[in-house]
Structure 1
Amino acid sequence: MNSRRKPAEVLAESRRQDSRAKRQRVLATVDQMLAQGDPVTFAAVARTARVSNWLVYADGVREHIEKARGQQASRPAQERLTRATTSSSSIRTDLELARAEIQALRQERDQLKGVVQRSLGQQLEQVASKDLVTRIDELTRHKHELTARLNQVQGENSELQRRLRESEDDVAAVRSNLRRMIRSGVQAEVS
């Protein structure tokens, strides 16, 4: 076997290694741009990774860039804008507005809570105690029926589990007998 490689093989291997290194650099650049929140475009990736525009459109690389672009597109536009343009005074203003809105919502919630409580109180007063006793009796009877059904199903389940264990034991015995029969049949043929 010839251990020396031809110059063309050496050159081809060198090109393959260079291509793999560039592709890995492009993928790492895309991940870094995603992590930093930089907009991922084909041109920006090629420029940042210092590779040709052709490479970023190549199979295996293009899909990774398109996936990253999709992830960025799914982020709210407000999140992308606030990262770049938010100042401390605007944050304070937003905080004060949010606090005022929270306070207004709490007041509205308390008012609605009071309305609901009054409405429920009126409904309870309208329901006669006789209706409540009848409903309680119905629910108690239904509970007893469900409990009896549960006990019956649990008993059936126990019986089925017992029968399953018996069947498994029978299958194991049949297998054991079959093995013995096969062994004795093989030994009889050998003799």
Structure 2
Amino acid sequence: MIQSRKPAEVLREARQKDSRDKRSRVLAVVDQLVAANEPVTFSGVARAANVSHWLVYADGMREHIEAARCRQSRAADNDTRASATVPAGWKVEQRLLQQDNRRLREEAERLKAAVRRHLGQQLDQVGAADLGTRIDELTADNQRLQTDLAREQTLNTDLTKQLVEAHDDLAAARASIRQLIRAENTTSGQS
């Protein structure tokens, strides 16, 4: 049988779960800051984890944050010692190289943009020139076809006239042959 829980027990369990969630968020934020090599501060952790300042100073949380800060401080000390052994001229050289690299990257981007614009303009001009040439070709073809059509229409008209004349000549020849045949028949019938 399931026992019913009292409201106080339900509330206590909810508060404990909320506390565990907040503490795990604090630990996760500290680990993220360390991994990103960003400074770990109590206020920064509280803000990033969206918890109260009281919680980051609570037992268990404070020790974890302080340990992360100590690790970062030791790493910074090691970096300082390592950079102290590097000659100052190299540091200046490194900064100058970084500035040159940044300037060269910006110039490369600017040149790429200029090339893109120039290519676009060339494509537009080539397209327009090609279209003009194509229009000229089509106009010449159209004129040639119109001339051919006019010539063929004239030829057609002449041939039609010749055909009509040939029909007329044929009809006249048939009529003449019929008259000759009749005349021959009448003369041979009288003899």
TM-score, normalised to structure 2's length? 0.42
Larger Rg: 2
TM-score, normalised to structure 1's length? 0.42
